[in-house]
Amino acid sequence: MSASPEGFRSLSAAEFFYRNREIAGFSNPTRALYQTVRELVENALDAADTHGILPVVKVYVERVRGDVGYYRVTVEDNGIGIPPQYVPQAFGQVLFSSKYVLRQSRGMFGLGAKMAILYGQMTTGLPVEVVSSPARHYRIHYYKILIDVKENKPIILEHKSWRKSGSWHGTIVSTTVEGDWSRARSYIYDYIRGTAVVAPYADIFFQDPDGNIVRFPRSISKMPPPPRKVKPHPHGVDIEQLKMLISASKATNLYDFLVESFQAIGPKSARSFLEWAGLVDPENPDDKGIDPHKMKRGELEYLARKLKEYSGFKAPRTDPLSPLGEEIIVAGLKKVYEPDFVAAVTRRPRAYSGHPFIVEAAVAYGGRIKSSDEPMLIRYANKIPLLMDMKSDVSWKVVDPKRFDWRNYLVSFPAPLLVLVHVCSTKVPFRGVGKESIADVPELESEIRNAVREVARRLRRFLSRKRREEELKQRIDTFLKYVPEVARSLSVIMGGDGEKELRRMLLEVIRRHVGLPEHEARSLEEKLGRLGDKR
């Protein structure tokens, strides 16, 4: 008997994500509406601050058909804009992006916005509408686009353009999706608020389907340094990446290939590595190794392994990273939470598996932060707020009161304590494509713990000073209770005169005893008056 033939065929990237939308975070109408807002806002912010433009982002969520739960999400930015020849692919071809370079950006996969568009097309059948004009371009272009799921290519339903009358540049994207506003509302508001914390240099406007408007105006003009594209580090390369680098290289020997293809490898370190790995003759300075294009798989595997093992390379460069910095973090937390105390730290760069990363942390106490039995943890990865799967995140593993003894830092729960953790890297180790929690990478966990300890020590000093001030107030109140009676009794003993002067002298004794500066003597008199009023 002959076996029946199997129906083998390939899937396009668009069809794969059409079939598996859950892995991109579009598992249900609630999550999908939140994810759509999030992905479009991330693209809008990247289009501005990556290019040194102070962002202005406007977000609108409108009911299109309330009876079936259709919502139109529109996000407008003042970013660099998209060249018109790339607009169809940028919004109509899955896994087509400008983000496939070694540089920090909010999005990693070039997938999010297209997945929102694809989800909208699946659930409502409506196309995405895009208006865009690059900076220093004299025309504005409008597109109406669908995605050809089978072929993973854009279907342009409409394209028109008109001459600009002003200087506007940026992009406006509108897509209609099936959603559940009543359940997604809290997530979307938390996301907008969280974004305002780490982007106080942005002007963010949000209007919800009920007509409510929230605006977070710019509170600081300082921006993070824009990230720069770099070459890969030798410790982070694998066999397949090595093959791609060789394919793109015109070098005819290993020495030239290493110097031109990697960061942290110069002429001297290239020679040292090749001699250490036994790939050149150490006695022959003219030996530069074999042609990499002629290397067999076993030789490629050996080269990739030795590049990871060699300890003589410099650490990865931090040029592709864009940390927020302490000033921006503090400004953002003050703007949104108005705490009594806030402190932030940006740690020195480190690396894991050849990927550079920087950890930033902050603590805020009091103000509009609600008291709770555990810290209020807000997490960010490359400036993206992470709202879900908190307990599976490495940051929670660090700040969890069951593991981190907050009593050492004078924090007793319930307490109005907020902890912020920001991880920026060219490759954030997310647990899944949904990008909601960060995996337990040892190097990362160690840096987060050290960063939290550093800002917690500053909080301890603040709480210690506050505790001393409270004790001082109690002592003053105790002393002040007896001043009128003592002054009156002394006045009687002295013949009934000078009670007012005796009271002033007693207040001066109290001031010196508790260590108050002289200019605060009047505050003691006012406090004594209030105590008298209460009696």
User: Band of the pLDDT at 84, cuts 50, 70, 90?
Assistant: very high
Helix (H) or strand (E) holding 35: helix 29-49
Planar angle of CA 106, 108, 114, nearest 5 degrees: 95
Residue recorded with tokens 């929102």: 116
Q: What is the pLDDT of residue 1?
A: 45
Query: Exposed, middle or buried: residue 150 (CB in 10 Å: 0-12, 13-18, 19+)?
Result: exposed
Per-residue pLDDT tens for 483-511?
676 766 767 677 666 667 766 777 677 66
- Amino acid sitting at position 284: N
What is the rounded distance in angstroms from the CA atom of residue 170 to the CA atom of residue 130? 11
Secondary structure E strands in 337-491:
341-346, 350-352, 355-365, 376-381, 384-386, 417-425
CATH number of 326-463: 3.30.230.10
Asked if pLDDT for residue 7 goes beyond 70, the answer is: no
Q: Report helix, strand or coil for 240.
A: helix
Q: Which CATH number fits domain 234-309: 1.10.8.50, 1.10.10.10, 3.40.50.2000, 1.10.560.10?
A: 1.10.8.50
In 10 A of CB 314, how many CB atoms? 12
Asked if pLDDT for residue 67 goes beyond 80, the answer is: no
Asked if pLDDT for residue 55 goes beyond 90, the answer is: yes
For the chain, give every domain's residue range. 13-216, 234-309, 326-463, 465-534
Evaluate if pTM is beyond 0.85.
no
Asked if pLDDT for residue 6 goes beyond 90, the answer is: no
Q: Mention every residue, 6+ apart, whose C-beta is less than 8 A from residue 37.
A: 59, 61, 73, 75, 188, 191, 192
Closest CA to 93 of 43, 148, 38: 148
Query: Homologous superfamily of 13-216 in CATH?
Result: Histidine kinase-like ATPase, C-terminal domain (3.30.565.10)
- Contact between 276 and 310 (Cβ < 8 Å): yes
Q: Report helix, strand or coil for 342.
A: strand
Q: What is the pLDDT of residue 109?
A: 47
What is the rounded distance in angstroms from the CA atom of residue 254 to the CA atom of residue 239? 15
